[in-house]
A and B are shown apart, each in its own frame.
Chain A
Amino acid sequence: MDRSARAGTIATLLIGLLITFGLPAYADPFQVMQMTLYVVLAIFALSLAFIWGVGGILCFGQGVFFGLGGYTFAICAINFGGSTGAFLMALLIPAAVAAALGYFMFYGRLNDVYLGVVTMVFSLIIWKLINSTAGPEWHIGAARLGGFNGIPSIPPLNWPGRPADALDPLQVFQIAMGLLVIVYLAMKLIKGSRYGRVAIAVRENETRAALLGYDVPFVKLVVFTFGGLVAGMAGALYAANQAFIDPNVFSLEMSAKVLVWVMAGGLSTFVGPIIATIGLQYVALFLADHKLMNSQLVLGAILCVLVLSLPNGIIPALQDAAAWLFGRTRLALAGRAPAAARKTAL
């Protein structure tokens, strides 16, 4: 990471901390829960931004891992009577499912649009499956799956190991923010690491990466599994925050929305998808609240305008604008300068 990129990361972290501890003082509990929802969805968006932006894996069914995280949390929390183990399971199960699905896709050499089709069909299968579990005979332990009615009364998050001490909405918000910051930072570090650079190489040209001796299917599998884990984490927080989950988390709408957020924010950044998620979700809620217009229609229009005018997304466009203003090229901002310096030393 060069200096300007590091400054950007630190600025993002500071803003994150400021929001975590500052903003809730001015908000009532309902607003805090609303903000928690935005943060949770931002974590979900990061999971896709990582596998798509870094790994080049276009997943049309990222909602599956989000939904699995939510359902796993709900079922385990109801059975265990606390959130600690349930939260861990909600990381492990989606990651394991992502690893299994990824194994067949990547070692089966599926690519591009085929990946999209397989992940989309997979999410439809799970959606159908969960929708058809309405009867009382469909239960896991004490948790009834509830079919299209969903699972109500999901226990809230509690202090680790102390099931009786439920967290209040403000604490849940702060934990969600903390996790968002950790996920953001982890992804930044991975992207700049040796492993991340290999993943980017695989995204750029799989054949060349393999001919250099890199194990392409394995690299993609690890990226995809990590994405599944992060999406599962978001799903668990979602279920805990709403105290309710239904099969719509597996719907195409859920998986499509997150694609839109990532695309609008900018595929090549992590901050972009976070900002786009919160912004677009706020607009959607505002429109729905005030019954001004069909929110889907407005979001569709926003997406069209963004794709046509800022094809790289909001944040990369802002970076370009800043580079133009300060008379530097975008390449210099993106960290190409050190390579040029090395050349002259050569």
Chain B
Amino acid sequence: MTGEDRPPLLEATHLTMRFGGVVAVNSVNFRLAEVELRCLIGPNGAGKSTFFKCLTGQYQPSAGTVKFRGRDITGAAPHQIARLGVGIKTQIPNVFNGLDVHENVRLAAARGVKTRRMIDRTIAEVMDRVGIGDLSSRIVGTLAHGQRQLVELAIVLAGEPAIMLLDEPSAGMTNEETARAAAILREINRTTALIVVEHDMQFVKMIAHTITVFHQGAILMEGPVAAVMADPTVRDVYLGRRAA
């Protein structure tokens, strides 16, 4: 599943992001097919999150282009990119802390022209899928970190995206929650493309087919999980000698 045989859903060409003299992302070429699941890994400061923010419109890239289904979205505002069907889960959960879980999901489901019935159905479906139905009336700010991660996942799903970008979805989760998140992501991936930025290699092994390794702002390697994990360079720069 490298995506060569299908038209790209998302395509970055020579994407570059500079902060003053620092080149955080250096001329990256990246393609993602429809319904593909891709993990981005790399050491701290490798440029994963910056690359991610260039894709979502949170940063304006210094050079290069980003195309979504052939449409140039370079430099578009985050809300315009989101409206095309790009769902984003950020590293620190971005949720509406003062509102209850139901209203959080409702706000995501209600954007655009929709009837009340459609909205209610989406909410019920998503709550069920993520398994947070029992938290419906809880104020999100009072929930545990792992639960808020799930709420954010539900929010992103409720927007019915064609692609979901997730920045460290398993951060701060218990083992049980991590396994549940992995199962949810695999299930989501049946209809939706995913890009997952992740540190936790156990989690990556649970979900990934293809991995892209970032190092010093560029792509070091791209390929199937087993090949990447066996690569000596990757093990040197990222995994270290402990990981097998």
Q: Does A208 contact B (CB under 8 A)?
A: yes
With a cutoff of 8 Å between Cβ atoms, the chain B residues found around residue A201 in the complex are 96, 99, 107
Q: With contacts defined as CB atoms under 8 Å apart, how many contacts are there between chain A and chain B in the complex?
A: 81
User: Given A339-B137, A346-B133, A214–B111 Cβ distance below 8 Å?
Assistant: yes
Task: Using CB atoms, name the residue of chain A closest to B128.
Answer: A346
The answer on a CB contact under 8 Å between B137 and A343 is yes
The answer on a CB contact under 8 Å between A343 and B134 is yes
With a cutoff of 8 Å between Cβ atoms, the chain A residues found around residue B97 in the complex are 204-205
| Least Cβ–Cβ distance between B116 and chain A, in angstroms | 10
The answer on a CB contact under 8 Å between A213 and B95 is no
The answer on a CB contact under 8 Å between B155 and A212 is yes
With a cutoff of 8 Å between Cβ atoms, the chain B residues found around residue A205 in the complex are 94-97
The answer on a CB contact under 8 Å between B155 and A343 is no
A47 to B220, CA, bound (A): 56
With a cutoff of 8 Å between Cβ atoms, the chain B residues found around residue A197 in the complex are 103, 107, 110
- Per-residue CB contact flags for chain A residues 183-223 toward chain B (1 = under 8 Å, else 0) read 00000000000100110110011011111111110000000
Q: Does A342 contact B (CB under 8 A)?
A: yes
The answer on a CB contact under 8 Å between B82 and A204 is no
How many chain-B residues does the 8 Å CB contact rule pick out? 35
User: Given A211-B90, A339-B102, A346-B133, A194–B79 Cβ distance below 8 Å?
Assistant: no
The answer on a CB contact under 8 Å between B133 and A212 is no
Q: Does B221 contact A (CB under 8 A)?
A: no
With a cutoff of 8 Å between Cβ atoms, the chain A residues found around residue B133 in the complex are 343, 346
The answer on a CB contact under 8 Å between B159 and A213 is yes
| Contacting residues of chain B (83-140) with chain A, CB-CB under 8 angstroms | 83, 87-88, 90, 94-103, 107-108, 110-112, 124, 127-128, 133-134, 136-137, 139
Which residue numbers of B lie inside 8 Å of A, CB to CB? 56, 58, 77-79, 82-83, 87-88, 90, 94-103, 107-108, 110-112, 124, 127-128, 133-134, 136-137, 139, 155, 159
5 contacts between A and B (CB under 8 A): A205-B96, A209-B107, A213-B79, A336-B100, A339-B102
Given A339-B100, A339-B101, 9 new contacts (CB under 8 A)? A194-B110, A208-B155, A211-B79, A211-B82, A211-B94, A331-B137, A339-B102, A342-B136, A346-B127
